[in-house]
A and B are shown apart, each in its own frame.
Chain A
Amino acid sequence: MEKRILKDDNDRVDGILKVTGQAKYFAEYELPGLTYGVLVTSTITKGKITALDTKAAEKAPGVIAVVSHLNKPSAAAYEQEGGPQMKIFYTDKIFYNGQPIAIVVANTFERATYAASLVKATYVKEDFNTDFEKALKDPKAKKLQGQADYKRGIENAYKTAEVKLEERYFLPIETHNPMELHGIIADWRPNNQLTVYAKTQGVKATQGTIANVFKIPMENIQVNSEFVGGGFGMALRTWPLEIATVMASKHIGKPVKVVITRMQMFTMVGNRPAAIQTIGLGANKDGKLTGITHRAYGETSTYENFTEGVVNMAKFMYQCDNVNTAYAIVPVDLGVPIWMRGPGEATGAFALESAIDEMAHALDMDPLDFRIKNDPETDQQKNKPFSSKNIKEAYKIGAEKIGWSNRKNKPGSLIEGSWQTGYGVSVGVFNANRGKASVKGILKADGSLLLQSATSDIGPGTGTGMTLIANKLMKIPVNKITFELGDSSLPPAPSQGGSATLSTVGSAVNDVCVALKSAIAELAANSNMDATANFVDVLKKNNLPSIEVTKESQGGKERDNYSMYSFSIHFVQVKVHALTGVVKVSKIVYVGDSGTIVSPKTARSQMLGGAVGGIGMALTEESIVDHRYGRYINNNFADYHVPVNADVPEIDVNFINKPDPYINPMGAKGMGEIALIGFSAAVANAVFNATGKRIRTLPITPDKILA
C-alpha cells in the first residue's frame, strides 16, 4: 500500500496500517500449501507418558501428520546429553499440566482441532506440588539462591532502630496476556532452509535459538516479525511450542501454522512468578532511614530456573548506610516463568514502596516528605553519582497536579457518602540501559531515507521514535523516512526488552545520520558545492542514486563513571466503597524522569499503558491454580481480570524532559518498565490512606478490604 501522509509528525508511522487492518501479524501470512497445527497437551501435572494413541487422529479427515516424541524429526541439539531438561518431543517426561505432548497437523484449523481431541495419552503419575507457599514452608523442598546476597553496613540494622517495622508481602502469579495469541508459522524447505513468521520481541534471538536447536547455520533461517500484538516480556524467548511447530514443518515438508488458545497462553508462554517478600525498615525519630532489609522468594519451575531483579531497588533508591538483601527461588511443578513488564523490579517495588509508606505512617510523617528526606544524592550501591536524577522536581509537579494538599495524613479522614477517598504515591525505577545495535541508512536522490535494523516493535512505537530521531538530525520530512524492522536479515539489534530499544537502536540511528551527513558534506566539498547544500542536489550532481552507511553503536566508558536509572513518580487518588469494598482508581498523575522525550505522543501512551497494567496488578490480576490438580482455573479473560475501559480514569502524564548528559546522543532513557514499576504500591498506599486498611497481598480485592 502506498504510504499515506500522516497529519502530524508525532503520529505513529504505522498508524494507518494499524487502523485499516492492513498491519500483518505473524498468523496472517498466506503461504502456499499452508497447514494448521494444533497442540495436544498433558492432562497430568507430573510423570511420564507410557503410551500415546494417535491412530484415530491420523485417520481423521484432513490430517497430514501427528508429531510427538514417538516420531519427531531430528533436532540435533536435543540428540545430545545435557542442555535443557524440557526438550520438546525428545522426552516422555511431564513437568507441568498443559505441557505440549504432540502436534496434530491438518489442512484446516477445524480439522486439526477436532483431530487433536482424538489423541489419547496414558501416563504414570507422580506426586507433585504447584503450591509455592507450601514449598516455601516445606524444609525438604528445594530453595536455590537467585542472586548473590548483598550487604552494606550492618546486617538487619532495622532490628535495633528507634522506629522499626517488619512486614510480609505476597504477589500472586500474573499472566502477560497480550491481545495477540502466541504461535508461529514455520516453513522448512529442502536443504535445511527455514522461514518463520514469529511473534517475537527479538528476531535475531529467535533465529539464534532455532539455529542452536536444529544445528543449522543462522543464515539458513529467515525470521519475520514486523507487527507484534503485544508481548510484555512473554515473547522474549522461543518457546517449546515454536520448536514443536518447526519440527512439524520439517516432518511434513510443508508450512505449518500454530496459534495457541487463550487457555494455553496461561501454561505455555510463561508468567510473572509469585513472590513472597519480607521488608524490614528502621528509622530514627527524625525520619532518616537507618536500616533496610529486603528478603524475597520467587517461584520457578522444576525443569528450568528463572530469576529476576526483585531486590534491586532496595540497594540504591533511598539514602541508608545499612542495607542487606537476599533472593531465592523455589521450584514448583508449573511452567517456567518469564519477565513480565517491569519484571522483578515491579514485584520488589510493590513491597518496598508499600513499606516506605508504612514507615512514614509509623513516624506520623507525610510519605512524600519521608521520601524526599531520604532521597540519595549519589548511588550508595555503586558508589557513583547518578547520570541524571530529577525526582525532587518530579515529586513537586505530581503533588500539585494530584492535589496532594487535599490529602489527610490520618487514614480514613475523607468520607463522602459511602465512599472513602485516599491518596498514594510511589516511585518506579529501572536501570537505564544501552546495548549494542547496528543500523543501515540509505539516503536516496529522491529525497528519502531508508533505515533498517533487526529490532522489534511490540507496541511502544519503535519505528516512530527512530523516524523522529532521524527527522531531527537530517531535517528530512517524516513522511520521507522509512524505518524497517522485524526481519532477521537486517543489521543486528538486541531483543526489545529492559526498556532499552530507543536508547540502543536510537543511538545507532543517530550515528548513521551523522555519518550520512558527513559523507554528503565530503561529496559536496569534492564537487565544489556549498557545505550546506541539500543532499538531493549533492547526490544528483555526483550522479549517485543513493549512498549507504551501516553503523554499529554502543556505549563507552560513561557507565563506569555514572549510575544510570530512569525514574517515574506515580500519584493516585482512589475511592473505596465502604459497604462493598470496591476500589476505584479515580485519578492518576505520572511524572516521568527519563531524560529527553523523543516521541511525545507514543511516550505518553507508554505511561498510560503502565497505569492500566498497574491497575490490573493492584486490583484484579491473579492466575489461580487448583493445587489438587495443578491446573489454572481462571485461564480466560472472563475469569482473569485485566482492566477494561471503565476501570481506567483520566490519566495526567507529565515528563521532566531534561536530557541525560551521558547515556546516549539523544539524552533519552527507557520508559516501558518504569511506567509499571511501583504503581501497585501507590494504589495500596492510597487504599490505606482512604480506609486505614493495609493490604499486603495483591490483588486488592473487595474481600480483603472487608476482612
Chain B
Amino acid sequence: MKSSDQKPNEGDSRRDFLKKSSVITAIALTPGVAVKAAENKADERFAELFEKIPLKLTVNNKAYQTMVEPRVTLLDYLREELHLTGTKKGCDHGQCGACTVHVDGQRVNSCLSLAVMNEGKKITTIEGLANGETLHPMQAAFIKHDGFQCGYCTPGQIMSAVACVREGHTGSRAEISEYMSGNICRCGAYPNIVDAIIEVKEGGATV
C-alpha cells in the first residue's frame, strides 16, 4: 500500500484511510485489526483522536476545555458546540459583521477565526454583555433608539458599538458611521444605531 506521503482526507475517504499503513503504524495495530475496525465503523472513534485537538478558552467568563476539529470556526464553535446562538452567521466570509465578538477585548469577526486559534483567549459574546438582569448601556440604548428591526445583525452591531466607544472612535456622527461600517444592517437602522452610540458615549458610563 503506497500511502506514506498522502495526507488524510485527500482522495479516499477515512474508512480507506484507516486501512493505510502509516495510520496502522501510528496507532500500533496490525493491518488486519485496523481494517476490521474500519469496517465496523470504529474509525469514527479513531477520528476523534486524529482530527480533534484540545482547546482551552474562556467564553463570557466561563472556562471551557474541549476537543475540537481545527477546521471549525470560532463562530460555528460558539453556535453549534456551546449553543451560544446570539452570535450570528450572516456571510461566513468576514463581510457583514453579524458574527462580531470580543476576543481579549478587541472586536473580531468570529467567522474568520478558527476556534483553535483562540487558545487561552477570553471571548465575550452578546450573551455575556449584560450584568445579570441589568442591560449593558449599549443594549438599553439600542432599544431606546430602535437600533434594529429584524434583530439579526443586532448582536454584532452591539458588540461592535461597544468596541467603537472603547476605541474612542466616537468623535462625530461621521466617525461613528465610518467605524461601524463593517456591520451591515439590511433593515437600515443605521441612523438609529449612531444615535444609540452617541447616547452611550455622552452618558459617560463605563462600557
Q: Which residues of A contact B (CB under 8 A)?
A: 4, 6-8, 11-12, 14-25, 27-28, 30, 56, 59-62, 108-110, 114, 118, 177-181, 227-230, 232, 259, 261-262, 458-461, 601-602, 604-606, 608-613, 636-638, 642-651
Contacts and interface: CB of A to CB of B under 8 A. Distances in A.
Contact of B184 (A25, A110, A637): A637
Contacts of A643: 188, 190
Contact of A605 (B14, B130, B189): B189
Contacts of A604: 146
A232 to B, nearest CB: 7
Given A110-B76, A636-B91, A637-B91, A642 B186 contact: yes
B181 A646 contact: yes
A645 B193 contact: yes
A19 B149 contact: no
A13 B8 CA distance: 51
B71 interface: yes
B16 interface: yes
Contact of B72 (A61, A110, A227): A110
Interface stretch (B20-28, B29-37, B93-101, B199-207): B93-101
A610 B80 CA distance: 34
24 contacts: A7-B140, A11-B144, A11-B146, A12-B143, A19-B155, A20-B126, A20-B129, A30-B83, A59-B15, A61-B43, A178-B186, A179-B96, A179-B187, A180-B90, A229-B150, A261-B92, A459-B149, A602-B149, A637-B184, A645-B176, A645-B185, A646-B177, A646-B181, A648-B190
A21 B86 contact: yes
A385 B72 CA distance: 62
Interface string B34-55: 0000000001100100010000
Given A110-B72, A179-B90, A458-B150, A638 B16 contact: no
A229 B152 contact: yes
Contacts, number: 205
B89 interface: yes
B126 A28 contact: no
B81 to A, nearest CB: 9
A610 B43 CA distance: 54
A59 B152 contact: no
A109 B91 contact: no
Contact of B151 (A110, A459, A611): A459
Contact of A20 (B139, B149, B176): B139
A61 B13 contact: yes
Contact of A179 (B72, B88, B143): B88
The SS class assigned to the B binding surface is loop
B108 interface: no
B84 interface: yes
A225 to B, nearest CB: 12
B191 A650 contact: yes
A28 B178 contact: no
Nearest to A11: B143
Interface of B: 9, 12-16, 43-44, 47, 51, 69, 71-72, 76, 79-80, 83-93, 95-96, 98, 125-127, 129-130, 133, 135, 139-140, 142-144, 146, 148-155, 158, 173-174, 176-178, 180-194
Contacts of A601: 146
B44 A232 contact: no
Contacts of A179: 88, 90, 96, 98, 150, 152-153, 184-187
Contacts of B189: 605, 608-609
| Of listed A4, A177, A637, residue having the most chain B CB within 10 A | A637
A666 B153 CA distance: 32
A613 to B, nearest CB: 6
B151 A20 contact: no
| Of listed A178, A230, A645, residue having the most chain B CB within 10 A | A645
Contacts of A180: 88, 90, 150, 152
Contacts of A16: 135, 143
Contacts of A21: 84-87, 125-127, 155
B151 A56 contact: no
A15 B85 contact: no
Nearest to A609: B188
A14 B194 CA distance: 21
Contact of B188 (A14, A602, A610, A646): A610
Given A19-B139, A30-B83, A648 B191 contact: yes
A16 to B, nearest CB: 7
B146 A19 contact: no
